Structure 1
């Protein structure tokens, strides 16, 4: 049985009606290697780079999306990333877990990621109640990224 998710109507009267998604920031241990991974493995574009104190920062965007960016934060000595090699175990950690990218086909996207030797975390799965096919992959430092396809 397929469940349809009922999304509440937009609240244009909200005092926060100007809020819209923008970006997610990721603390990475190697600025240049992270930029290279996103641009070579995911075809992201480097939008802007700048220094902030002893840090290096950059905005990166997917190949055809100017509305969602990933911000890389690098420099100094960041703490070790939790081990997210097992998706089920990763769900027990507190705090940031992943960000999600919508795709037309999870399976086709995973096939291309495998060709590009990207680490896939678990197998794709369907969640009928939200009408999505999902899969997860990780950057070289264990940061999780979710793929979502509307069923």
Structure 2
């Protein structure tokens, strides 16, 4: 298995204060999307607020206060591509997925399946990054990756 060689942290960068915070997903039904994240993934609703004609909400994993998903609801969003195959999904430009680290991809997939979540293909090991990976989708086709360090 290949190990990643990560360059040292550059604390002298003028952007040294940059840290990951959240990813935003445009959803057709904010209430249904919040329920899905809470019921299927045990996420917590952190905050909700209006923005113009939209209603927004932050949701976060059960034990992570450092990574949030911002749900953008309201109005009439355009259609989302419907991917039933992971390889097919890799060919379009633009946003593809966000990733959540887990202790066990297989155990997580078992629970997601029990909760009726749409799993996209089989889990696989990717030696180039030393991870076991799997993908699943929310009811609107937004892809989410699971990653386990091998």
| Equivalent-residue separation in structure 2 for 1:57 and 1:21 (angstroms) | 19
Counterpart of 1:42 in structure 2 is: 41
Deviations along 1:108-143, whole A, 9 cap, x unmatched? 000000000000001000001110000000000000
Offset at residue 95 of structure 1 (A): 0.3
| Equivalent-residue separation in structure 1 for 2:34 and 2:21 (angstroms) | 19
Counterpart of 2:84 in structure 1 is: 85
Deviations along 1:61-93, whole A, 9 cap, x unmatched? 000000000000011110100122110000001
- Give the TM-score normalised by structure 1: 0.99
| Equivalent-residue separation in structure 2 for 1:122 and 1:56 (angstroms) | 33
Offset at residue 12 of structure 1 (A): 0.2
Counterpart of 2:51 in structure 1 is: 52
Specify every segment of 5 or more residues in structure 1 that has no aligned partner in the other structure, as ranges: none
| Equivalent-residue separation in structure 2 for 1:133 and 1:47 (angstroms) | 29
Following TM superposition, the consecutive aligned residue runs of length 4 or more in structure 1 with deviations greater than 2 angstroms are none
Counterpart of 1:131 in structure 2 is: 130
Counterpart of 2:108 in structure 1 is: 109
Aligned residues: 150
Q: How does 1:6-85 map to 2 (within 5 A)?
A: 6-85=5-84
- Give the TM-score normalised by structure 2: 0.99
Offset at residue 106 of structure 1 (A): 0.1
RMSD: 0.4
